[in-house]
Amino acid sequence: MRPGDLSSFRWWVCPVLLALAAFCFDVADRRLHDGLLVTGLLDDPAHLATAALGLLVVARFVEAPRRFYVAALIASVAIDLDHIPLYLGLGAQNQRPVTHSLATVVVCAVAAAAGRRHRAILAGTVAGLLLHFARDIAEGPPGVRMLWPLQQTAWIAGYWWFLGMIVLFMGADLMLGGLGIPRTRRRVFGYADERLQSAPAEPAAPPRTLM
């Protein structure tokens, strides 16, 4: 395989494999309900693959540091740690915790806007949370109380919402990559400054002597 062919292969295979992984793990998660361990082994990979697929589209438009994407992927599964009290018999068992809401997203977004030091990590967390909630909504009951505490109504969508979402992400990435658009990506979170700081300094020119 020639280098050009390899580059073309990598361009389309990644979104296709991620979409396939998200689909397969999601279907298995919906069909198998054999306890917490089995559900976790299926639900988390489905969330991770869905988030990675969405981030591929984001990366078409912005040039962000690696910590942004790492934080987004971690957040896309780590938010489910708020289920632990439910598994211990604490809280309402028929609905997701209130941390599964836009309130958590707003807190992270405000923190990202308020300070520059961890802005990329917090912004990545926001992206990961939104992608996680989008799939949770499509899982059916109990849904997600997105507007808590303003509203207790849970947002619920059907399976076709999730299927449409992964098809949209995959199609958008393939289309943008095939057309080569956008031509340039916007650098965010000081990515250009970070690259300059990590680059090795050029040796100083030796002093010239006057004859």
pLDDT number for residue 117 = 87
pLDDT number for residue 10 = 64
Q: Are 76 and 47 in contact (CB under 8 A)?
A: yes
pLDDT number for residue 198 = 47
Reply yes or no on whether the pLDDT at 190 is more than 80: no
DSSP string, 7-56: HHHHHHHHHHHHHHHHHHHHHHHHH--S-HHHHHHHHHHHHHHHHHHHHH
Average pLDDT over residues 48-68: 95
Please write the tens of the pLDDT for every residue from 136-185.
Answer: 999 888 899 999 999 999 999 988 999 999 999 999 999 998 888 888 88
Reply yes or no on whether the pLDDT at 211 is more than 60: no
Between CA 79 and CA 115 the distance in angstroms is: 22
Residues with Cβ within 8 Å of 188's Cβ and at least 6 positions away in sequence, in order, are 62, 63, 64, 68, 120, 123
Measured CA distances, 157 to 44, 83, 132, 197 (Å): 19, 21, 14, 46
Reply yes or no on whether the pLDDT at 199 is more than 80: no
pTM given for the model: 0.84
Please write the tens of the pLDDT for every residue from 80-137.
Answer: 999 888 777 777 777 899 999 999 999 999 999 998 889 999 999 999 999 999 999 9
